[in-house]
Chains A and B, each alone.
Chain A
Amino acid sequence: MSTLFAARDIAIQFGGIKAVDAVTFDVNEGEVFSIIGPNGAGKTTIFNLISRIYNPTSGELTFNGRNITRVPPHEIASLGIARTFQNIELFAQATLLQNLLIGRHCHVRNNLISQLCFLPSTRKAELEHREKVEDIIAFLDLQRYRDTLIANLPYGVRKVVELGRALCVEPKLLLLDEPSSGLNVEETEGMAFWIEDIKKDLGITVIMVEHDMKLVSAVSDRVMALNYGRVLALGTPHEVQTHPEVVRAYIGGEA
């Protein structure tokens, strides 16, 4: 198992607050790696650092052997990293199909003139993108919502569309930010199945931020617990969940 992604002493400060403080971890190819911790622990901030929305104040990020600490945010997708957002950042006034097609953007090779005149090369590429997107639609059972505006879709479906859009990027690394938040028990089970399929059938490495411990135990290979921006524990789900520091962070220690 080789290391696909590594964070070394990554840190970011907002004013005087250290949101992420010297966090170090590796993610192996093909595994599902979960990050857990109380609210405000810095989990989503780490995602924002990896997808380069924030600039770290120190530390290094390596992906596939390449230093990506200062890469501009719009290049992350073509490197092979895709993400979902905690509060759903879909394109609300576009259809589901268009949202997924936008996920294919990093694979677009036609130049502007070819697109303006809709030359045969663009037409051919459009049809290919459509085929790939339809595969994802089939995988996630979204056929009947294809031409519906996102604004008219229920929350549970939108969560799935977020996932689908990230999959259209054909990433090597998928960052899932609280995939089960807002979902009921059945929907969460469905999500668990999809994460398994993503790992086994599509061979994608997954880093997941989650609160739902059942989901974390069910799908993760390794877990990292954070609190106040610092790593508390790193290991198998069982090891981390029984780690005294982690227990104390969630439940509180003796007075």
Chain B
Amino acid sequence: MHQALKTSYRQDISLLANRSGVFWYGLLIVVMLLVPGVLGEFYVNELGGVFIFAIAGVGLMLLTGYTGLVNLGQGAFLGIGAYTNSVLMTKGVPFVITLPLSGVFAAIAGILLGIPTLRMTGFYLAIATLAFGSIVGTIFQKWTAVTGGFDGFAVPTPTILGYPIEGATGVYYMSLFVLIFVLWMSVNILRSPVGRAMVAIRDSEVSAQSMGINLSLYKTISFAISSGITGLAGALFAHYVRFLAPDSFDILLSIQFVTIIFVGGLGSLHGAIFGAMFVRLLPQLIAIVRDDLPFGIGRMPGLEPSLFGLVLVLVILFEPTGIYGRWLKLKTYFKNFPLHRRTGMRRQKTYARSERLR
């Protein structure tokens, strides 16, 4: 049985705890960099989409999974990032500037949402973010002078230092680099006082305050970081779809994001990645097996959303810790083999505290 032992505090807070971590993650990065040379354009395109949704997933995970603030309006921030990026590019601003600016604009929007909702919890917050997302979606549709409304908005090709970033491969590498950057920043947050303050707010606001955490400040910071990251994803999303339609940033998109963090595994960065893979690849999977399904199920309209809903229900009933939770259990099984005990992994029955008295 291999147990990684840590010998210094420094090791505890470093990015990768030991040699094997460095090896495996390094290998992963090398593989990811080589993919476009090996796989065809279709797969590269799909993976690019996965990366973009993973970036937004990380943003939402920090807000909902780590700070405990439910956000059902995340689609709006993706849209703000996408439109900011594209509109500024048509005005001649280079991509290297519009990308961070999209993040900044989305972060400002996040602060605008965060401040009035500071005292809201649970369902109230969910509904408020839902309303916010809906209003922003309507703005996208009606502010035709800027967004072009339902006519759509053609997104210009980005260039870096004069070289155009084109096609699926260009989007792939851009998204990969932004994802790595966002993950690095998130890990930093989680091993710093900021990240701990977020977790404290999630688990007990009262004692967080007594420990010196300014609730308003940190909730706002969390909103800002979360929406800023989603704004970056939005800018990349614009180049992924090449053509923006205002109704693509609606409640259904927001539900996809919430599904990402939930099915992936709430409260872990890995969860955001796994969740993004699931949400983006499920439609592809359905498309592939569609014709082979018995009773003509494959030809039914509405198969996709129904499977979506079915998976959500099954996850909540049988594996609320999500894909990452199941992954950890699997790892523990192999680590303890053949001494693995099922009861060691049995989920403790939790009795949620009444939300009415938070």
Interface assignment of A200: CB less than 8 Å from any CB of chain B: no
- Please name all residues of chain A whose beta carbon is closer than 8 Å to the beta carbon of B194 when the two chains form the complex: 112, 115-116
The total of chain A residues at the interface (CB under 8 A) is 43
Q: Is the beta-carbon distance between B211 and A117 smaller than 8 angstroms? A: no
Q: Are A89 and B207 CB-contacts (below 8 A) given A74-B212, A131-B9?
A: yes
| Given A98-B196, A98-B199, A131-B9, A126 and B210 contact (CB-CB distance below 8 Å) | no
Q: What sequence of 0s and 1s flags, for each residue 45-66 of chain A, a beta carbon within 8 Å of any chain B beta carbon?
A: 0000001010000000000000
List, in ascending order, chain B residues with CB within 8 A of A131's CB.
9
Candidate in B185, B191, B203, B208 with the most chain A CB atoms within 10 angstroms:
B203
* Cα of A72 to Cα of B200 in the assembled complex, Å: 18
Residue from B9, B188, B192, B209 in contact with A74 in the complex, judged by beta carbons closer than 8 Å: B209
* Known contacts A91-B203, A115-B193, A169 near B211 by CB under 8 Å: yes
| Given known A77-B211, A89-B204, A91-B207, contact A118–B192 (CB-CB < 8 A) | yes
Size range of the chain B interface in the assembly? 20 to 34
Q: A53-B206, A74-B213, A151-B348 are in contact. Are A91 and B191 (CB under 8 A)?
A: no
Contact partner of B204 (CB less than 8 A), chosen from A91, A105, A112, is A91
A103 touches B211 (CB 8 A): yes
Q: Separation in Å of the A93 CB from the closest CB of chain B?
A: 6
How long is the Cα–Cα vector from A94 to B199 in the complex, in angstroms? 7
Closest to A51 in B: B210
A20 within 8 A of B: no
- Closest Cβ of chain B to A128, distance in Å, is 10
- Pick from B191, B196, B215: contact of A102, CB under 8 Å: B196
B350 / chain A contacts, CB cutoff of 8 Å = 151
> Could you mark each residue 64-100 of chain A with 1 if its beta carbon is under 8 Å from any beta carbon of chain B, else 0?
0000000011111110001101000111111000100
A126 lies within 8 A of B199 (CB): no
Chain A interface mostly helix, strand, loop or mixed? helix
- A169 and B212 contacting across the interface, CB-CB below 8 Å: yes
Q: Given the complex, which residues of A lie within 8 Å of B348, measured CB to CB?
A: 151-152
Which residue of B199, B215, B348 has the most chain A CB atoms within 10 A of its CB atom? B199
In the bound complex, how far is the Cα of B194 from the Cα of A123, in angstroms?
A: 13
Q: Nearest chain-A residue to B199 (Cβ)?
A: A94
Q: Contact check, B193 vs A110: say whether CB atoms are below 8 A apart.
A: yes
- A81: nearest residue on chain B (CB-CB)? B210
Inter-chain contacts of B197 with A (CB < 8 A)? 102, 105
A172 at the interface (CB under 8 A from B): no
B166 proximity list for chain A (CB < 8 A):
none
Interface residues of B in 105-143 (CB under 8 A from A): none
B346 CB to closest chain A CB (Å) equals 12
Q: Which residues of B contact A105 (CB under 8 A)?
A: 193, 196-197, 200, 211-213
Q: Is the CB of B207 within 8 A of A85?
A: yes
CB <8 Å contact, A165 and B211: yes
CB–CB B210/A82 < 8 A: yes
Nearest residue (CB) in B for A94 is: B199
Is B10's beta carbon under 8 Å from chain A? Answer: yes
Give 5 nearest A-B pairs by CB, closest first.
Answer: A77-B212, A106-B212, A91-B203, A89-B207, A115-B192
Beyond contacts A77-B210, A83-B210, A116-B189: 18 other A-B pairs, Cβ-Cβ < 8 A, are A73-B209, A74-B215, A77-B212, A89-B204, A91-B199, A93-B267, A94-B203, A105-B211, A106-B211, A110-B192, A115-B189, A115-B194, A117-B188, A126-B191, A127-B9, A130-B9, A130-B13, A169-B212
